[in-house]
Structure 1
Amino acid sequence: MLAASAAGASAADMPLKASPIVAAGLDWSGVYIGAHAGYGGGMKDWESNGPADFVARGPLVGGQVGINKQLGSVVFGLELDGSWADIKGTGVSTMGGAAFGTVETRATSKIDSLVTFAGRAGIAADRWFVFAKGGITAAHEKHDYLVNVNAVLGGVPLIQSASLSGSETRYAPMLGFGAEYALVGPWSILAEYNYHHFGAGTSRLTGQVTTNGVTTPFAANNRIEQSIHVARLGVNYRFGGIAPDPSFAPVPAAPGTNWTGAYIGAQGGYGWGQTQWPDVFGIAPGTSLPRFDNSSWLAGGTIGVNAQVGRFVFGVEGEILATDIKGNAGGSTVGGFLDTTYTSKIDWLALASARAGFVVGDKLMLYGKGGLAIAEEQHTAVATQSLLAVSINYAGKAVHTGAVIGAGGEYAFAPNWSVKAEYDYIKMFAQQVQLQGTAVGGPFGAGVQISATATKVTQDLHLVKFGVNYHFNP
């Protein structure tokens, strides 16, 4: 009896084996409000009343309200945001000279507010929430158009000025990517990129025209094609906080390298592709429009965020690359009547994309990516006519937008370091380019200023890149 009691007491004194502790996950569900600030810009292509093609850019600031629901490691949400903006630009064109008189046009557009309603979906891992978003945007925009003519027609002076203005609200589909990081308590910070594709639309401009001192009312329809890119930073406050929830079971990353977290990197490579111009000189048949190859080096930096669930990795990434990708095409009409040369060069290239992939083994990640590309390009067109000793030189600059898809692999060779190899294909959307130049010789004498429009320049690119990334989470 005593032995049995002693055995029972001894067993009672032994420590019990604790149940395994499961790390509590952060639950992003709930309502939030926040504020943001950023910068946006894009091309404004006035297809009438000009035409004019120019970059509009500027800051924006505003607020957002939204709601999230988290299921497992997947987060869904809806968000409404509004911004006061000062995204504006002006395109100026001058034609003529001392012997002919001059015509100057000035087209201005300004977006003063943006409102977007969008859905968000992404992956939450640790304190990171990485997401893609899509929805619809409304933008309020103002346009102004000025014309000044100082010429002589048939010996009669013509002094004319016109001033037109108008405003409109435009609607556009939008696509974006971003990442949000949970701070202490109810606060989080975010960074995101959004693309707003407004396409072509017609606005009504009204005003007056004054001809040799006589003023009359005037109105015109103005067709504008445009899209804008916006990068912004923000902060959110969640009612109830983003608290660890012991009952919420996060999906852990697979054993081995955990790719969750932010990273920066450097990369370099080679790009090649093909560019096609319209015929700005108006003499080439439609089957022989200027088309040429372009190629050269590229190098730049990368910044991104990943979220890993099991062996699946979802991330967003931004890249900025300096390039020397360029090419040209030359040719002559039948009999050598006119010799022409077209040249295009990419000064810089930026990519904003989402990545999705999976982990192979414990150090290798294979992924695919898709998103938007932005390129600032210089375009020139030169024509010479030897019989009349005439030369025409045009030059213009434009920001081109395109879609990008790609695939690659990344290998973790040290606790915070990885190397990558990647291929991207970029299809640039057709872009109108305003060209300003000079005509010299023949009837133009010492030279006159001229203007032309390359109605649509199309382009595709292939990029092969190699890089190294530093990950802030080991």
Structure 2
Amino acid sequence: MKKIALAAAALVIGTAGASAADLAARPYTKAPAPVAAVYNWTGFYIGADVGYGWGRSTGTLTNAAGLFPVPYSLDPSGVIGGGFVGFNYQISNVVLGVEADWQASDLNDSGNFLLGGVPTYTIRTSVNDYGSVRGRLGLAFDRWMVFGTAGYAWGSWDTSYAFIGAPPFVTAGVSSHDGWTAGAGIEYAFADNWLGRVEYRYTDLGRASFVSPLTNSAEVGNRVTINDVRVGIAYKFGAPAPVVARY
């Protein structure tokens, strides 16, 4: 009986030793890192916006020979509204994009200005519309994105010149004048295909001049700049696979 008991004990000890050896021989495997699916900004989108703009219209009115200068400065302001279309491509949490927009505007202002110390002229500027084609660079934090933007701009405006109390003797209509724009903003994807944004932009539409022998008047260079703040909403087409973030 003792022999049987000893044999059984030896068998148990041998089996335990073999199991311990097997465990020691197995390599350590790290548990897979947890993953989180974050929003993917890649895709085409189209949207609409509305906002408020304020700017500056400066220039110098003279006669056709360039004499009797009357410098002026106006502060046109008002509501803007329009649309935009673009494309984003996300690499890690960096978002590269291109976008075009157009804004109808109701920015206008007028004032009376002196010639030889005497109030003589009423000058008025109205910004009709402006637009741009820009590059964008964003930094995404899941459904939030902050971005900067800059590029080519164009716009149209009218500046009229009149004697005080009389109709304008000349109106300079400036159409599709070249300029530039830059700004920054923040976007939020509140649904998989819907984006909201708040954006600030500065736009410089450059200078325009004219000489009118018929009215014996000239403009040395009417420069128009615009600041605006706008809010917008966009629809993003498609539903690309989410970006996977590892921790």
1:202 aligns with 2:215: no
What's 1:249 paired with?
244
What's 1:174 paired with?
181
Selected match of 1:227 from 216, 225, 229: 225
1:127 aligns with 2:125: no
Distance of 1:144 and 1:205 partners within structure 2 = 14
1:109 aligns with 2:125: yes
Higher relative contact order (CA 8 A, sep 6+): 2
Distance of 2:222 and 2:234 partners within structure 1 = 35
> Quick check: 1:54–1:89 contact (8 Å CA) kept in 2?
yes
Selected match of 1:185 from 192, 202, 219: 192
What's 1:297 paired with?
none
Q: Deviations over 1:15-59 (max 9, x none)?
A: xx9854311011100100000001111121122343211211111
Compute the RMSD of aligned alpha carbons. 2.8
> Does the residue aligned with 2:215 lie in a helix, a strand or coil?
strand
Alignment map for 1:327-366 (pairs within 5 Å): none
Selected match of 1:87 from 107, 115, 119: 107
Aligned residue pair count = 211
Matched letter for residue 230 of structure 1: D
> Quick check: 1:72–1:249 contact (8 Å CA) kept in 2?
no
Q: Please report the TM-score for the alignment, with normalisation by the length of structure 1.
A: 0.41
Selected match of 1:140 from 145, 152, 156: 156
Q: Deviations over 1:232-286 (max 9, x none)?
A: 0000100014x661xx23477xxxxxxxxxxxxxxxxxxxxxxxxxxxxxxxxxx
Distance of 1:205 and 1:108 partners within structure 2 = 18
Distance of 1:162 and 1:249 partners within structure 2 = 63
Distance change (3 Å), C-alpha of 1:161 and 1:148: farther
Distance of 2:167 and 2:229 partners within structure 1 = 39
> Does the residue aligned with 1:240 lie in a helix, a strand or coil?
coil
> Does the residue aligned with 1:51 lie in a helix, a strand or coil?
strand
Structure with greater helix share of residues = 2
Worse-matched range after superposition: 179-188 or 85-94: 85-94
Distance of 2:36 and 2:212 partners within structure 1 = 65
Distance change (3 Å), C-alpha of 1:240 and 1:52: same
Matched letter for residue 78 of structure 1: V
> Quick check: 2:54–2:76 contact (8 Å CA) kept in 1?
yes
Structure 2 stretches of 5 or more lacking a match? 1-29, 63-69
Distance of 2:72 and 2:246 partners within structure 1 = 53
> Does the residue aligned with 1:23 lie in a helix, a strand or coil?
strand
What's 1:467 paired with?
none
Q: Please report the TM-score for the alignment, with normalisation by the length of structure 2.
A: 0.76
1:103 deviation in Å?
A: 4.3
Distance of 2:130 and 2:109 partners within structure 1 = 17
Matched letter for residue 172 of structure 2: G
Alignment map for 1:1-400 (pairs within 5 Å): 19-49=32-62, 50-94=70-114, 103-148=119-164, 163-169=169-175, 170-199=177-206, 201-204=207-210, 217-218=214-215, 220-222=217-219, 223-241=221-239, 245=242, 248-250=243-245
Q: Structure 1 vs Structure 2: percent identity of aligned residues?
A: 29
1:115 deviation in Å?
A: 1.2
Distance of 1:191 and 1:205 partners within structure 2 = 41
1:139 deviation in Å?
A: 0.6
Matched letter for residue 249 of structure 1: V
Structure 1 stretches of 5 or more lacking a match? 1-16, 150-159, 208-216, 253-474
Distance of 1:94 and 1:74 partners within structure 2 = 54
Structure with greater strand share of residues = 1
Matched letter for residue 146 of structure 2: V
Q: Which runs of 4+ in 1 moved over 4 A?
A: 17-20, 94-97
Distance of 2:60 and 2:121 partners within structure 1 = 14
Matched letter for residue 62 of structure 1: G
Matched letter for residue 40 of structure 1: G
Q: Deviations over 1:426-452 (max 9, x none)?
A: xxxxxxxxxxxxxxxxxxxxxxxxxxx
Distance of 2:205 and 2:38 partners within structure 1 = 40
1:219 deviation in Å?
A: 5.0
Distance change (3 Å), C-alpha of 1:148 and 1:188: closer
Distance change (3 Å), C-alpha of 1:48 and 1:71: same
